[in-house]
């Protein structure tokens, strides 16, 4: 549960101290772990430092007089900073992320409290901060586990409360749909629905250019430059919030209506390297949309089947499966030379994606050794074919 909080000036100063201490601990022990590796990389007996090693060093560091100011921060905030660093290294070694980088003072700041916080009706009680005013826009459900306070680049503060709650068993849905993502249309479904892209970044581009130009003309370190930086950050944050709101609404509607959703496994990271389409692809938010679909489908008793990116969804006739060898992007409609069916390019691609997704879901059990298909998958496949799964 994420809420907007409104700390007073004195509370904001206390939060800045907590942010600074957590950032210092993260950066210092990132340097320590890096130096330790470079020093002992030839020794196979020493594989590097872990969280417990850095936590012991932090305890001794706080005893030194020149680092007594670290005691102004909550002890568990500093420990959580070390846990975040250790998790960053684990993600790097598992090839899920890049090598950890040093945190910047002017970037997004965050601290985590695993205990000793209380969510009240109009306030959140935070250790060493006090009662901070909060806007509870939705009731807090479940048992609170930890609290993360974040300060964005635009100067806004948010409190994210992780909760543990009982989730009812989702009811599987028998309906299925294929989704074709694009730039001309954000998505087209196999049943003919089309959603136009909102293009939030394109609409705000003139204002962003003007604010960026004003920022570049301000003197570094001046009060006017800070005001210009905040104005630019707020405009970027507004565009990001608009995009997130649009993606959440579309993904929620699809996962509420359909149990099986077929998607192309697009290489978004590679596609944004095209300098002519990078801005439009980034503004569309395909990667975030796929992530939202995946977890929301699980919540609602469904699942997402990804179709190989090299599958000829646009070139193949969804009626007779003839593959048209010549299909440039300029062709939006075409007639199959074999069966004569007239196709809309995007709807035909969505139908082909749905057919391939159903085929993959239905044949997963026979092609994968020792892997069984979930009851949801069997139900969706049989329902699409018009038969009963039992």
- Residues with catalytic roles: 180, 264, 346
Closest CA to 163 of 117, 122, 121, 125: 117
Closest CA to 4 of 219, 225, 161: 161
The SS3 of residue 143 is strand
Distance, in Å, from the CA atom of 242 to the CA atom of 247, rounded to the nearest integer, reads 9
Place of tokens 């090693």: 53
Beta-carbon-side half-sphere exposure of residue 218 (alpha carbons within 13 Å): 19
Cβ–Cβ under 8 Å, residues 179 and 356: no
Cβ–Cβ under 8 Å, residues 374 and 282: no
Distance, in Å, from the CA atom of 290 to the CA atom of 265, rounded to the nearest integer, reads 9
Which DSSP string corresponds to 115-131?
Answer: SS-EE-SSEEEETTTEE
Cβ–Cβ under 8 Å, residues 14 and 129: yes
Which DSSP string corresponds to 28-41?
Answer: HHHHHHHHHHHHHT
> Tokens representing 89?
């290294």
């Amino acid at each position: 549960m994420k809420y907007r909080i409104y700390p007073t000036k004195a509370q904001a100063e206390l939060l800045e101290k907590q942010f600074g201490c957590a950032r210092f601990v993260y950066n210092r022990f990132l340097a320590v772990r890096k130096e330790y590796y470079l020093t002992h990389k030839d020794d196979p007996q020493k594989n590097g430092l872990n969280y417990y090693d850095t936590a012991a060093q932090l305890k001794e560091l706080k005893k030194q007089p020149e680092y007594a100011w670290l005691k102004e921060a909550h002890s568990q905030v500093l420990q959580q900073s070390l846990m975040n660093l250790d998790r960053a290294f684990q993600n790097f070694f598992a090839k899920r992320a890049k090598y950890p980088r040093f945190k910047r003072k002017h970037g997004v700041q965050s601290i985590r409290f695993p205990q000793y916080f209380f969510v009240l009706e109009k306030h959140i009680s935070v250790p060493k901060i006090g009662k901070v005013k909060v806007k509870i826009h939705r009731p807090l459900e479940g048992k609170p586990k930890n609290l993360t306070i974040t300060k964005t680049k635009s100067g806004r503060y948010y409190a994210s409360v992780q909760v543990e709650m009982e989730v009812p068993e989702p009811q599987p849905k028998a309906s299925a749909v294929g989704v074709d993502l694009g730039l001309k249309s954000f998505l087209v479904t196999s049943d003919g629905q089309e959603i136009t892209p909102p293009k939030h970044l394109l609409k705000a581009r003139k204002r962003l250019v003007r604010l960026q130009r004003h920022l570049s003309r301000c003197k570094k370190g001046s009060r006017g430059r800070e005001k210009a930086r905040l104005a630019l950050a707020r405009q970027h944050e507004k565009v990001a919030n608009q995009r997130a709101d649009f993606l959440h609404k579309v993904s929620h509607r699809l996962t509420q209506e359909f149990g099986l959703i077929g998607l192309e496994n697009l290489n978004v990271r590679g596609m944004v390297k095209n300098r002519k389409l990078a801005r439009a692809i980034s503004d569309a938010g395909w990667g975030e949309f796929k992530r939202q679909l995946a977890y929301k489908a699980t919540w609602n008793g469904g699942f997402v089947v990804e179709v190989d990116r090299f599958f000829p969804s646009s070139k193949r006739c969804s009626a007779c499966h003839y593959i048209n060898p010549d299909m440039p992007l300029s062709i939006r409609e075409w007639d199959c030379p074999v069966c004569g069916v007239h196709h809309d390019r995007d709807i035909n691609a969505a139908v082909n994606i749905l057919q391939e997704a159903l085929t993959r879901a239905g044949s997963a059990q026979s092609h994968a050794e020792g892997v069984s298909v979930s009851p949801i998958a069997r139900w969706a496949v049989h329902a699409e074919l018009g038969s009963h799964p039992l």
